[in-house]
Structure formats: C-alpha cells, structure tokens
Copies of this chain bind each other. A is one copy, B any other.
C-alpha cells in the first residue's frame, strides 16, 4: 500500500510537505503541489482513513440499525438516508438486527469500535443494557420505532392516529366487528397502534372484543397470513380487519387470495402503508399511505446538522408524521348494512 512516505521518497521531499501539498495548504508552492499530485496519481495513492482518525479526524460512517432491509419501510429509509448522507460525505453502514437484541448489540459494538460518527436506529423491542450504554457514547436518533431508554430524539409516525383513522373509516362504513392484526404491545409502536384502534372504537361507542385482536412478531408476514385465517374461522368472524404493520399486511393479502375470500363482500380490509403492489391486489387495497421517505429525509437532515454542529444540549426532539387514507376497493359497508339499505 502506497503512503505519503513513498511519495516523499520519490520526490525527495519530507512527508510533511507531501501531506500539506495533498491538503492544499497555502504555504506550499504551486509547483510542488503539482509534482506531489502527479506522483500521488501515478503511484495510486489513497489516503488512509484510519490514520487520519487517529489524528483526531472524525469518522464519516453513520450506522443504520434496522430490523430487516426487505421491509419497504426500511429500504425506503435506507435509500433516502443513503442519498442524503452521501451528499454530505457520510457513508451508511447497514446493520440488520432481525429483531434480535443480541445482534443489535453486536452491531452497536462494532459501530462503537469504529467510532462511527453517529447511528440512526429503529430499535428492537427491549434493547440490551449495553446497547443503551454504547449509544450514549454516540450521537444517535431513533427512527420509526422508539424506546424511552434510548433518548428523546425521534422521527416517526403518529401511530395512534394512523390506526384511529384507519379504524374510523371502517366504523363510518357501518362495521362493528372490526378485527386488528398487529405487533404486540411490548413494542412501543405496537402499543400505540393498538391504542389508536381501541380509541376509534370507543369514540364511537363500540365495545372492543379482545378475541378480535391478533398480535404477533412485527416482521413476520407469516403472522399476518395465519392471523387472518384464524379470525375467519371464529364462530362470529369479523366483517372487517385493520392492519398494523407492512409485513402483516403482505401476509394478510397473500392469505386472503389463497383462501379465495371475497373482498370486500365478505371482509373489508384496511392496509398499513402503501407500496408497489398494494393497488394491484384484488379490488385494490384501501390503505393508509405513510410518508416514510419524508420522515427519513427529515431525520437525515436533522441528524447531519447535529453531527456537524457541536452537540450543544441533548434537547429532546420528536417529529411524528401522519399518513392519509387511500380509498380503493377493499372496503365497503358490512353485509348487515347492505341488507338494511336494500
């Protein structure tokens, strides 16, 4: 590997002169600079980041810690952040946790060891104690998911409102037996979403039925598929279902298609998030479209400012974005209402 020493030797100069020339120091003559650059070019010199960091240069690596890059939320986030970070000279280190807190910890250890400039994280349900400590040592911001132990800087969605709006849409159509499929309440977003669903029901005086709530692993499409099948087998099945995560939505759509359920005649469905393909499904999926790209870019811009400026105070900052209902064909009035109006 060629170093500044090699250039210095070839040019009969000192390493410091070479270093200054490469850094475009005004004290160095243009002629010398030209010779140095020339030589560097020829030898294929590439500055050593590690050495610079030892001299106090800050890392240009930002960690992105997420459950699964195949989830459309997270690849959208990765894409937006990657673009913004690259524009500012940062590189994105991809760290998938697979919703495992030990894997999460390992990634954070690595990021800490490489003295990452910062971390953007969608944490697991209950991050390891060491993860909390490690993050305290690095500038960081939470994205989409939020855990109190990791500080009060967060960009995400108004999860409660999202599910309240989705559920309200079904209530307005006349549904009362509305099921919910989502993540368990130990995940903060899961809790908020469930709460939104419940709130919408109680706002309309509909009493919630616990056996219409199906909770399972947040990143599992399997859970979506199985949950909807279980619901339809109930003695008094729901007339509508509202979904609380993207993977669950995908699973439910697959399951309903496989079972040949007639949507919206036999069941109305409101999805969570909008992605390529949801509009293709059956009569078109009515869903809550969520501005993930915008959330990610706001987060990225805010975080960069924080990285570049002295981290003055640890001011709390939270930003909750809201989505909007995209009505398509998968929701309609329930059978009872239709009979009545006929």
Contact = CB atoms under 8 A, between A and B. Distances in A.
Contacts of A48: 113, 115
A54 interface: yes
Contact of A75 (B70, B112, B137, B281): B70
Contacts of A107: 86, 91
A236 interface: no
Most chain B beta carbons < 10 A, residue from A78, A257, A275? A78
Contacts of A47: 113
Interface in A246-305: 250, 253-254, 257, 275-282
Interface string A79-96: 100110010000111111
Q: What number of copies of this chain does the assembly contain?
A: 2
B79 A69 contact: yes
A137 B250 contact: no
A13 to B, nearest CB: 22
Interface in A51-72: 51, 53-54, 60-61, 64, 68-70
Given A93-B94, A277-B276, A46 B112 contact: yes
B91 A93 contact: yes
B69 A113 contact: no
B114 A50 contact: yes
A134 interface: yes
Nearest to A98: B83
B276 A250 contact: yes
A153 interface: no
Given A49-B50, A50-B53, 12 more contacts: A44-B137, A47-B113, A49-B114, A50-B54, A50-B115, A61-B93, A69-B78, A82-B94, A92-B94, A92-B95, A93-B94, A254-B279
21 contacts: A44-B137, A49-B114, A50-B50, A50-B53, A50-B54, A50-B115, A60-B110, A61-B93, A61-B114, A69-B75, A70-B75, A70-B76, A70-B79, A82-B96, A86-B95, A92-B94, A92-B95, A253-B280, A257-B279, A277-B277, A277-B281
